[in-house]
Amino acid sequence: MAEQTQDQLPKTTADGIELASSKVEILAGSGTDPTAATFVLHEEDHTLANPLRHAIMQNPEVEFCGYSIPHPSEYKVQLRIQTTQETTALAALKKGLEDVYAMCDHTFKEYHRVMKAGEYEIVDEE
Amino acid sequence: MPYDRDHVVLEAEQVTNISSQEYPHQFPNDTRKFGLEAFRENLQVKIWRVSRDEMEFDLVGLDASLANAFRRILIADIPTMAIETVFMMNNTGVIQDEVLAQRLGLVPIYADPSAFTFKTANQAPTDVNTIVFDLQVRCTRKPNPGPGETDPDKLYQHHSVYSGDLKWSPKGDQAEKFADDPIRPVHSDILLAKLRPGQEIHCEVHCQMGMGREHAKWSPVATASYRLLPHIVLKRPITGDQAERLQACFPEGVIGIVEEDGKRVAKVANPRRDTVSREVLRHDEFKDLVELKRVRNHFIFKIESSGIIPSSTLFSQSIKHLMHKVKVVMKAVEAMENSMVEE
């Protein structure tokens, strides 16, 4: 594994979720084959990695996808993607991200539609 | 038992069929659709109960990874304001400074987090990143208690320090900004310390923005959890006295008994009320008659707010937060892609 130097580490802003220049990188040793790569997502955990893994695995062109958090004291996720010759690991990652976003968006709209319809019991606690 | 795609199976000593296998290429001649289109078709939301601090709703048709992400964000990633620094001017009570400070930290502070920003270690406190409260309580004797009186309420003034004794001290334009909805502890009756005559607590506390992942005091929820909908299968008709014995194995309302052709027959009435205690599997007569399962993609969410943000708002914030996380990573992936092209 490539040794991390100080300037490669993600720059943390106060809220910790702003864009860092090295938020995402490809792990050294991925080679030249575009259909297989391990991505490192800095400052992310199961919250993002697990739904992302799920969305990527739903892509029929993806042969393998899995993630790991190599050590609990390092705030990062390693995401491995292997695809068929029809696509690339990077394209699968991007499609996965788009799909998670779209799933959230749909859930949000559906939740608000039902909330607006108001077919539920309102309980007064006091 | 053949693999059940849609249910988690509960046996007497183990849980089987736990992981979802709902991915392409998993089953021969599979006709199910995957991906976004299927998700849009299948997702259902049903809200059951909403109050200011609590809500229960069902999310059906999504994977555990997504449901769990929403739950994790609710607990750990939505910022609120909480007491972070305590300047102890005087504390002659029996509660030590550090214990009192810890207790103060856990008091939920009613303040709209979107009106504030995070304060970094080297930033000075300002009216947009800090809320100040004063706490000054002195215990005194009440005049003329009855002879032999032992009730502290009748003997002493201010013998208990409550969260309501925290007095907000507005800074900058805070007084105008929050005039309609002043900043205050959510509950005014949280006991912080007890005093006796002559003892005094005087301190200034600073609230800052933070997230539950750093300390639970910043979590906007008391708890946020989900469970899977129970699914009870009666493999053969269960009638007569046996039906009543079956009914007794479950919480009230789970099993109903109906008259059919002059016989009393057990029917599953409301599996939602089942606690899945598995009591029924302990009885030999039901072992082979009943199957206990859970619907793998039916999540019964319960969100209990700490009172700062209304429970119904919390869930939309949680979804928005995950979308924001995706956006940030997407931007970074695109930036990485562009830099790869340049090389």
Instruction: Count the domains in chain B.
Output: 2
Task: Flag whether pLDDT at A84 surpasses 70.
Answer: yes
CB within 8 Å of B262: residues ≥ 6 apart: none
User: Which chain B residues are Cβ-neighbours of A24 within 8 angstroms?
Assistant: 329, 332-333, 336
Predicted confidence (pLDDT) per residue in A10-45, tens digit: 444 444 444 445 899 999 877 789 999 999 999 999
B317 touches chain A (CB under 8 A): no
Residues B70 and B124 in one domain: no
Identify the band that residue B224 occupies on the pLDDT scale cut at 50, 70 and 90: very high
Cβ–Cβ gap A48/B48 under 8 Å: no
Residue B32's identity, in one-letter code, is R
Residue in B323, B331, B332 with CA at minimum distance from that of residue B73: B323
**Contact between residue A123 and residue B50 where contact means Cβ atoms under 8 Å apart:** yes
* Structure tokens, B262: 């002059």
Q: Do both B45 and B173 map to the same domain?
A: no
Residue B330 included in any domain: no
Q: Which residues of B touch A105 (CB under 8 A)?
A: 323
How far, in Å, CA of B179 to CA of B115, rounded? 13
Domain contains B321: no
Helix/strand/coil for A57: helix
User: Do B67 and B86 have their domain in common?
Assistant: no
Residue B186, token pair as written in the block: 């959510």
Across A1-15, B2-16, B243-257, the highest mean pLDDT is recorded for: B243-257
Contacts of A123 in chain B (CB under 8 A): 49-51, 54
pLDDT of residue A123: 84
Q: What is the pLDDT of residues B165-217, one digit of tens each?
A: 999 999 999 999 999 999 999 999 999 999 999 999 999 999 999 999 999 99
> Could you report the per-residue pLDDT of B51-100, keeping only the tens digit for each?
999 999 999 999 999 999 999 999 999 999 999 999 999 999 999 999 99
Do B57 and B129 belong together in one domain? no
**Residue A7: its pLDDT value, please?**
38
Task: Give the Å distances, CA to CA, from B280 to A71, B99, B227, B233.
Answer: 42, 47, 20, 12
In a domain, residue B196? The reply is: yes
Same domain, B84 and B209: yes
Name the DSSP class of B239.
B
Query: Which pLDDT does position B283 carry in this prediction?
Result: 96
Cβ A111–B316 below 8 Å, yes or no?
yes
- Does the pTM of the predicted model rise above 0.90? yes
Q: Is B342 part of a structural domain of the chain?
A: no
Min Cα distance A80 → chain B (Å) is 15
**Contact residues, chain B, for A20 at CB < 8 Å:** 332
Mean pLDDT of all residues belonging to chain B: 96
Domain that holds residue B54: 7-24+34-77+231-303
Q: Is residue B315 part of a domain?
A: no
Nearest to A99 among B36, B48, B49 (CB): B36
Q: Are B126 and B209 in a shared domain? A: yes
CB < 8 Å to B325, chain A: 17, 44, 47-48
Has residue B314 been placed in a domain? no
- By three-state DSSP, how is residue A72 classified? coil
For residues B125-150, give the mean pLDDT. Answer: 95
Residues B244, B198 share a domain: no
Q: Domain of B208: which CATH number?
A: 2.170.120.12
B73 and B88 belong to one structural domain: no
Find the CB nearest A105 among B69, B118, B323: B323
At B177 the three-state DSSP class reads: helix
Q: Are residues B134 and B156 in the same domain?
A: yes
Q: Return the percentage of chain B with pLDDT > 90, whole number.
A: 96
